[in-house]
Amino acid sequence: MSNFTTFFPSAGGGGGVGSGINSYAPFKVGTSDNNPQGYIHSTGVYTNPVDESVWLKTGNQVDDISSAYPNAFAAIDHRLTSGTQYQYTNQNLRADMAFDGTDAYCMIAASSGQIRMIENNYDTRAWGDIINKDSSTIPGSYGSRVIAYDTTAGGWITQDSSSTANVINRWNSDFTSITSTFSIFAEAGAGTLGGMSYDPINNHLFIFSFNNNIYIYDLTTETHLSTFNIATRFPYGILGMSINPTSGNLWMVDSNSSAAGYEVVEVSPSTGVETGVKWGLYPNTYIASGTVRGIAWKDGNILLAVTQYQSGTYGYVLSSYDIDGLRKVGDETARTDSSGSTQPLFIKLK
């Protein structure tokens, strides 16, 4: 077996035996495992049998699930590979969706007198049939674009409004009948809403209005509790919101796209103040580029997002993110030795 320095010449980029964590060194490797001994071709990981140091070929990252490399360069990856299952629909979706414990339901753009949504199978990501509830609308209805699922009562929640009314309709679980209705006109006024989310911890309903107000209602008494405004933090509004069923905190998608992409931001459910936790939905390789059309927590860890892809016609895909994220170590940019060997560079993990 060759000595470690045969593959990591000490003159090539500061690496080699005794090099510090996160240092680089050129490494001559084959295209099969154990060439040299300790190298795994599929992952790019090399474990030196002489000193048990661990190196990773640049252009690769590995999940540090057990914190085996605490001092290595790392990034938190909030993406899940389930987002690669592209299934498109050409329906014009709006910025709201909900999860009923099995599948996701997304609102379709509403014209006057329309309340319609479409189901997405969580396992296959395939879009189903349109659910049409136009017959339930009030006289002069503007239509609706928001939806929530009450996990306590086991039923759906929609909104309907006109120039003189704004109501919340509570449905049974199979969407066949309205079980209760209450007015939000005194607080929200007339018009369609931009988002709605159910809080299972407190049995509260959160409503986002296009004046950048968040209205909170107690579903036990069906009465208004409080209001806060998010214009300072989200001056362009939001593209969806959802309460995390474990923490109880509210998550919002910032409408202001930036270089980091559309951000999902965790805020206090009582004040709208940021907690400091957020990440960008873009860029990544798991979802189509375009506008976010709603988010919903599947559970306390997995966040679902519907995003728009448009190339002549509308198309949408459902993707999922891991709130905890995986700690990924390594340098995701493939690098080669510039000192003459042209061999691929490896980074030292431990």
CA-closest candidate to residue 207, choices 184, 177, 235, 223 = 184
**In this structure, are 317 and 334 located in the same domain?**
no
Q: What is the tally of structural domains in the chain? A: 2
Tell me, yes or no, whether 37 lies in a domain.
yes
Tokens standing for 183?
């007015």
Percent of the chain with pLDDT over 70: 83
Please indicate whether residue 84 or residue 346 has the higher confidence score (pLDDT): 346
Sole residue written with tokens 């493939």: 334
CA-closest candidate to residue 233, choices 261, 267, 187 = 267
Question: Which domain CATH number covers 184?
Answer: 2.115.10.20
What is the chain's percent helix, strand, coil content, to nearest 5?
Answer: 5, 45, 55
Please indicate whether residue 149 or residue 9 has the higher confidence score (pLDDT): 149
Average pLDDT over residues 187-204: 93
At 282, is the pLDDT very low, low, confident or very high (cuts 50, 70, 90)? Answer: low
User: Quick check: 167 and 157 in contact, CB under 8 A?
Assistant: no
Which amino acid, residue 41?
Answer: H
Tell me, yes or no, whether 161 lies in a domain.
yes
d(CA 325, CA 262): 17
User: Quick check: 29 and 297 in contact, CB under 8 A?
Assistant: no
Please indicate whether residue 4 or residue 242 has the higher confidence score (pLDDT): 242
Tell me, yes or no, whether 68 lies in a domain.
no
**In this structure, are 271 and 322 located in the same domain?**
yes
Q: Is the dihedral of CA 221, 223, 226, 231 positive or negative?
A: positive
d(CA 180, CA 223): 13
pLDDT digits (tens, 9 = 90+) for 160-175: 999 999 999 999 999 9
**In this structure, are 255 and 286 located in the same domain?**
yes
Buried b (16+ CB within 10 A) or exposed e, 49-66: eeeebbbbbbebbbebee
- Please name the helix (run of DSSP H) or strand (run of DSSP E) that holds residue 317, with its range, or none: strand 314-329
Tell me, yes or no, whether 349 lies in a domain.
yes
**In this structure, are 107 and 28 located in the same domain?**
no
CA-closest candidate to residue 210, choices 292, 95, 111 = 95
Residue 145, pLDDT score: 84
Residue 2, pLDDT score: 37
Average pLDDT over residues 205-211: 95
d(CA 43, CA 62): 7
d(CA 154, CA 282): 33
Which of 47-56, 90-99, 333-342 shows the lowest mean pLDDT across its residues?
90-99
d(CA 98, CA 289): 21
**In this structure, are 28 and 126 located in the same domain?**
no
Residue 262, pLDDT score: 78
Residue 53, pLDDT score: 92
**In this structure, are 205 and 310 located in the same domain?**
yes
**In this structure, are 162 and 271 located in the same domain?**
yes
CA-closest candidate to residue 136, choices 155, 118, 115 = 115
d(CA 346, CA 316): 39
User: Quick check: 230 and 238 in contact, CB under 8 A?
Assistant: yes
Residue 75, pLDDT score: 64
Which of 17-26, 82-91, 111-120, 247-256 shows the lowest mean pLDDT across its residues?
82-91
**In this structure, are 151 and 246 located in the same domain?**
yes
CA-closest candidate to residue 155, choices 105, 118, 229 = 105
Residue 278, pLDDT score: 80
d(CA 216, CA 201): 13
Domain span at 341: 1-62+330-350
Tell me, yes or no, whether 225 lies in a domain.
yes
**In this structure, are 322 and 337 located in the same domain?**
no
Tell me, yes or no, whether 346 lies in a domain.
yes
**In this structure, are 6 and 121 located in the same domain?**
no
Tell me, yes or no, whether 71 lies in a domain.
no
User: Quick check: 96 and 84 in contact, CB under 8 A?
Assistant: no
**In this structure, are 261 and 181 located in the same domain?**
yes
Which of 16-20, 221-225, 305-309 shows the lowest mean pLDDT across its residues?
16-20
Tell me, yes or no, whether 274 lies in a domain.
yes
**In this structure, are 25 and 139 located in the same domain?**
no
pLDDT over threshold 70, residue 84: no
